[in-house]
Structures are given as structure tokens and as C-alpha cells.
Amino acid sequence: MLLQRKRARAGARARHTAEHTVNWADGRLPVSEGGGLLRKAFPEHWSFLLGEIALYSFVVLLLTGVWLTLFFKPSMTEVLYDGSYEPLVGVSMSEAYRSTVDISFDVRGGLLIRQVHHWAALVFVSAIGVHLLRIFFTGAFRRPREVNWLIGVTLFLLALVEGFAGYSLPDDLLSGTGLRIAQGVLQSVPVVGTYLTMFAFGGQYPGHDIVPRLYSLHILLLPGLLLALVTVHLILVFYLKHTQWAGRGRTNRNVVGKPLFPNFMANSTGLFFTVFGVLTVLAAVAQINPIWTYGPYRPDIISSGSQPDWYVGFLEGSLRLMPPFETAVAGHTVMWNVLVPAVLLPGALFTVLYAYPFFERWVTGDHEEHHLCDRPRDKPVRTGLGVAAIVFYGVLLLAGGNDILAHTFQLSLNLLTWIFRISLVLAPLLAFVVAKRVCLALQERDRERLAEGEETGEVHQTLAGGYAESNGPLDPEERHVLRSRREPEPLAPSSEEGDGPHVGRLRATLSEWYYGDRVDVEGGEPEQGRESALEAAPGQPGAPERDAYSGEPER
């Protein structure tokens, strides 16, 4: 009895302390207003983790980057090396290169942190790219998430620039080669190219200001922009609610998943430590960017077989595939062989990325809000365009290593270059056709499964003496997903909303191209946006799973 009274008094004191603490915090912070936020639902699907991997890689980048700034010296002043790495003793090098070598060999744990930082940068850019592909193929960029798509593309662009800036800071022979290419790209800009080069490098190449200026961009401006945009991106994700895959109980008016606290936070915390652990293991066992083997940068030397990090490899490939072509205009030489592949092509690619959500909305006439993800097979044209873009990028990436491929496989470099040039035009077109036909075939297969059921693999003999395979009923969840697909009709030619007759016909033609080829589902169910999972009784079709949490209806 005495022990029970002590426990009761201790519990009462704990409750009183907790209540007092909450009241104190609520009087100074919006604690009570954030209580509903902790119950916000997050859908469960592996594809939704891609954005979290990018976020946690960025956190690792910030942590390791702060540590590296304590030892790195962003100076191009020439010094003689006298450190512990004997092959470089007595070699003239910049202080930037010297400090990077010292971090690798003389600072305890320096090489490990350097390699964690580099691997995290690669994973960060990769995760953003794959996350953008997931959003594109599932249609998660549509209204009301167009702004978040623009932010995501901007994050991808800034990540590329941030990665190149960090890659160039050690001033080794490989990164110096990349800076030499960047200098040629700047000079290719008509009229102002020379001024841009002088401003960036602080004088004639190689100058003495490029590393300090890249350092300021790498540790201040670009991380600040990335952090600000990531914050806005997450705020919009919370405000607009998360997209989710179609299914029973999932509609355009709710979110079914795990609550933010404690389920999602526990899973997300575990993912963070997993990402950190995997990056640390990679840094420990997989060597990356061994600058001591490249040596310090010298303008008169270039290493054979030099390759940039993968995210700028497509620029290397575009430069190698462009034929030599220059013109002189009003005393100025326009280097099309550099301007087109290194300036105009990337600009066109990112312009297409920025404009695509608005282009699709204009072509399809779809102005509705969408909170359910599309299956890629249900949008064959969009999927075909995405696959074609991936193949286009892949050809450029492979072309960036055409010399390595030619040497490895004993091929003619000139022949391989022409193969890549032809493939750059034909391969994306072929990929689009194949991807579209595969999507339509999968749609046809879905309709057959709805009409005939799932194949069981059991064969029986009919009364007529033949053989037939028996089919079983589809899973109710899968049947619901297959029957919920709805495709609008192509737009008719019109000149509404201020469009001229030619624009109206073009829009109708593109709409027919986008929606014309499809396999409609017979006997579909009512539109999902009109259902209400909250009204369905547990255990009935349309009700959420028992272990799922259905978030609040749409704002």
C-alpha cells in the first residue's frame, strides 16, 4: 500500500509538471495550434521516401560541410607541399589543394568526412532527380502543386551548380579541367562572354579569384537558397496535403496513412539514420575523388580519361557530339560548337521542365485539383515523353565517356561518336513509341483482367474435349484501382478563352494526340472525387484499412 501511494504521488507530480510545462509553452509558443499538425496523415509507399532521402542527404551535407570549412583554405596562393604524403613533397600547389590533402591525411577522420560529403552530394542530386521523375510520371505536379514543381526543378538546378562548385574547390587536376571547360563555356556567350570570364576568374585564366568566389557560393549563397526553398517546399507539402495512390478509402478529399506523430516521425527518424549510415559505409569502403593521385592543377596538363561527376556528364557528352561550327558576326566569333550544347541545350531542357505542367494543362484542358497519383500506364503520352527524355539524357551521358568506351571495347572513336549522334535523334523517338505502346498494352491487359478475372494457372478439360484455363476473381483492392481510372475526352477545336482559330486547332490536335490512343475501362465506378471514405463503414468497400489513419478532409 505504501509503495502504491508513492507511485500515485509521483504520477500526480509528473502530470502536474507536464501540465505546467505545456501551459508555460502554450503561453509563449503556438503549441495548442500545432496539436492538429501532429495528427496529419502521411501515405505509406516506398516512392514517397525519395524526397526524404534527398532531404536527409542535404542534412548530412550541411553537417559534414560545416566540419570541412574548419580546415579548408580557399586560396590559390602557391606553396610548396611538405606534409605527410611523400609523393607530393616539394611539389608546388595552391593552398586550396594543400589544405584538401592535409584534410585527407593529417586531420583525424578527415578523409572519411570528405568522402561522406562527396557521396552525400551524389545521393542528394540523384534523389532529387528520381523524386522529380516520380512526381512527373504520377502527375503529382498538377493543380494545386504547380508551384511546388517549380520549386523542385529550381532545387535540382541549384543542386547541380552547388555540386559543381564543391567539386571544383580542391583545385586538383581533374577539377581544374572542369573549370577550364567552364571558362570556355563562358567565353562562348556572344558579346559578354569575355567580361563574364574576367569577372569569374579575376583576370586571365586561371586567375586567382575563382576558388575563393566558388567557396563563397558553395558555403553561403547556394546552401542558403537551397535551405530556404526546401523549407518552402515542405510548408507547401503540409498545406496542400500529400498525394496518394488510388485505392479503397482514398479519394481527392482525404489522405489515408500514418499520423505524423508518432508513426511517421519514428519511421522518418529511422530513415535518416539509415541514410547517414549507408553514406558512412560508402565513404569507408568505396574510395571517391582521390585528389592526391590526380595532383595539383596546372593549365598545361590534363589527365587522360578525365570524367566529371554524373550530374554534369550530359554536358560533357553534348560538347563531344556537337560538330565544330563557328561563325563571325560583326567582328565577334560565335562558337556554336560550345554555345549550343553547353548553354542553349541546358537552358532549353530546364525551360521544358518549368513549362510542362502548364503545357499539359493547356493541352488537356484539365483545371481540376488532383490529389490521387496516376499510374504511369494510364497516361501513355506523358510516360512516353518521360522515357524519351531519360533516353535522351542517357545518350548524352554515355557520349561523355566516348573515349573510355572506345578504348575499353576497341572501337573507332569517330564511329562511336557518329553512333551517339544518330542515337541522340532516333533513340528518344523510338523510346517514346515503345513506352506508349507498352502502356496501351498494359491498359488492355487491365481491361481483360477486369472482364475475365485473374489467371490461376489451373487447366481443365472442357465437355467438348478441349482445354481451358480457369480464372479467379480479382482482389477487391486491385479491382477498385483498375475501375477507378477516368480519362477525359480530347478537346474539340474552338477559339474560347481568347485563343485564335489556329491556336484552337493546334490545341485540339495536341489534345487528340495526348488522349486519342487509350483503352477505356468498361463499367467503371463513380468518380473517386465524389466518394467519401469517412462515410464508409469499417469493413465495407471504400472504407480505410483498419491500421490506417484517415487525415482531415481537404481544406
pLDDT in tens, 21-53: 767 766 766 656 566 677 778 888 888 899 999
Above pLDDT 90, what percent of the chain? 54
- Cell 467519401 belongs to residue: 532
Which of 9-23, 366-380, 491-505, 535-549 comes out lowest in average pLDDT? 535-549
Task: Examine the pLDDT at 425 and tell me if it is beyond 70.
Answer: yes
pLDDT, greater one: 137 or 44: 137
Average pLDDT over residues 442-447: 90
- Please say whether the beta carbons of 511 and 365 come within 8 A: yes
- Please say whether the beta carbons of 135 and 236 come within 8 A: no
Which of 3-12, 217-226, 270-279, 329-338 comes out lowest in average pLDDT? 3-12
Do strands 244-245 and 372-373 pair parallel, antiparallel, or not at all (unpaired)? parallel
Average pLDDT over residues 1-8: 77
Per-residue cell: 49: 521516401
Average pLDDT for the chain: 86
Average pLDDT over residues 459-471: 80
Name beta bridge partners: 94: 78
Task: Examine the pLDDT at 128 and tell me if it is beyond 50.
Answer: yes
Classify the phi-psi angles of 326: left when phi > 0, otherwise alpha if psi is within -120 to 50, otherwise beta. Answer: beta
| End-to-end CA, the chain | 52
Q: Look at residue 92 and give its three-state secondary structure.
A: strand
- Please say whether the beta carbons of 70 and 272 come within 8 A: no
Who's near 255: CB < 8 A, 6+ residues apart? 40, 41, 42, 43, 241, 242, 244, 371, 550, 551, 552
Per-residue cell: 195: 567580361
C-alpha to C-alpha distance for 446 and 375, rounded to whole angstroms: 12
Above pLDDT 70, what percent of the chain? 90
pLDDT, greater one: 470 or 88: 88
Please, which pLDDT band fits residue 97 given cuts at 50, 70 and 90?
very high
Residues in the chain: 555
C-alpha to C-alpha distance for 72 and 64, rounded to whole angstroms: 12
C-alpha to C-alpha distance for 103 and 100, rounded to whole angstroms: 5
pLDDT, greater one: 393 or 305: 393
pLDDT of residue 531: 40
Task: Examine the pLDDT at 397 and tell me if it is beyond 70.
Answer: yes
- Other residues' Cβ atoms within 10 Å of the Cβ of residue 276: 17
| Residue pLDDT, tens place only, 512-532 | 888 888 787 765 444 443 343
Task: Examine the pLDDT at 370 and tell me if it is beyond 60.
Answer: yes
C-alpha to C-alpha distance for 151 and 177, rounded to whole angstroms: 31
Name beta bridge partners: 550: 256
Note the pTM of the prediction, 2 decimals. Answer: 0.87
Question: What are the Cα distances from residue 196, in Å, to 137, 158, 183, 205, 465?
Answer: 38, 19, 9, 12, 83
Can you list the alpha helix ranges (DSSP code H) found in 106-172? 110-138, 146-168
pLDDT, greater one: 152 or 522: 152
pLDDT of residue 219: 95
Average pLDDT over residues 323-333: 83
Task: Examine the pLDDT at 311 and tell me if it is beyond 50.
Answer: yes
Who's near 65: CB < 8 A, 6+ residues apart? 117, 219, 223
Q: Which candidate, 31, 144, 37, places its Cα nearest to that of 552? A: 37
Name beta bridge partners: 93: 79
Phi, psi (rounded to 5 degrees) for 65? -65, -40
